[in-house]
Amino acid sequence: MLLSGGLDSAVCLAAARAEGRECFALSFDYGQRHRVELDAARLLATSAGVTHKVIRLDLRAVGGSALTADVDVPKDREGLDSIPVTYVPARNLTFLSLALGYAEVLDARELWIGVNAVDYSGYPDCRAEFVRAFEHVANLGTRLGVEHMAKGDGPWFQVRTPLVTLSKVEIVRLGTSLGVDFTLTHSCYDPQIVNGSALACGHCDSCLIRARGFADAGVPDPTRYVAGVKRST
């Protein structure tokens, strides 16, 4: 299970646990500017009592994104429907590939990822079509995939995406119904650390989409923003 520490991955984790899964959470220390999300991931994993592993991976060596290079994170973007500079090239493919390797070592069959293709930034690697193609390559490129295929078991590895068709409002509602503690989550791409706490900027895509989700769901937004930031959009 990929666990970034954001709202969606927290709800995804809760959904997997609600289905009775034994979860092994995986996070990536990839040179992201919002590295503080790893603290949130640790808190969420500890709170849920699941195994948590952090893999180091230097995506700054690749660059090409406002999250991994010295490029400003866009603020107050209109529309949110074109792919923004926060897109990290091939990130979910890389993360799923590493999760697949870990799943194979664990002899786990399912990978869970909280991608969402409704209220999102238009990232191509958050769509169901991409996930289905990943499942296919995963089953062709692994020992377990090939062995089960040879036995006639059909595709072995499955990618579970419980949020992919949900709106942000629905994700907030699902999380609420599953008892997710949203105060533990961190979504902001461009946080400020003040007295050891990560405060959300309130203006990046991630903050805007998250705030709108809480507002539209009628759920109080527990996010701690930097001083002077409006809390609703």
Summarize as ranges the residues that interact with a copy of itself (CB under 8 A).
Answer: 53-59, 61-64, 83, 87-94, 97-98, 100-102, 104-105, 124-125, 127, 129-130, 133-134, 136-138, 140-143, 145-146
Coil, helix or strand for 27? strand
In the complex with a copy of itself, the residue whose CB is nearer, 141 or 222, is 141
Phi, psi angles (nearest 5°) of residue 9: -70, -30
Least distance (Å) between residue 73 CB and a copy of itself: 17
Least distance (Å) between residue 104 CB and a copy of itself: 4
Tokens 């709170």 correspond to what residue?
A: 47
In the complex with a copy of itself, the residue whose CB is nearer, 68 or 223, is 68
Least distance (Å) between residue 214 CB and a copy of itself: 29
Least distance (Å) between residue 115 CB and a copy of itself: 11
123 token code pair = 């990232």
In the complex with a copy of itself, the residue whose CB is nearer, 115 or 169, is 115
Tokens 């705030």 correspond to what residue?
A: 211
Amino acid identity at 81: D
Sign of the CA dihedral running 91, 75, 161, 7: positive
168 token code pair = 């942000």
Least distance (Å) between residue 59 CB and a copy of itself: 7
CA 15: distance to chain centroid?
14
In the complex with a copy of itself, the residue whose CB is nearer, 91 or 186, is 91
In the complex with a copy of itself, the residue whose CB is nearer, 163 or 211, is 163
Please, which residues have CB within 8 angstroms of residue 180's CB and are 6 or more apart in sequence? 10, 11, 14
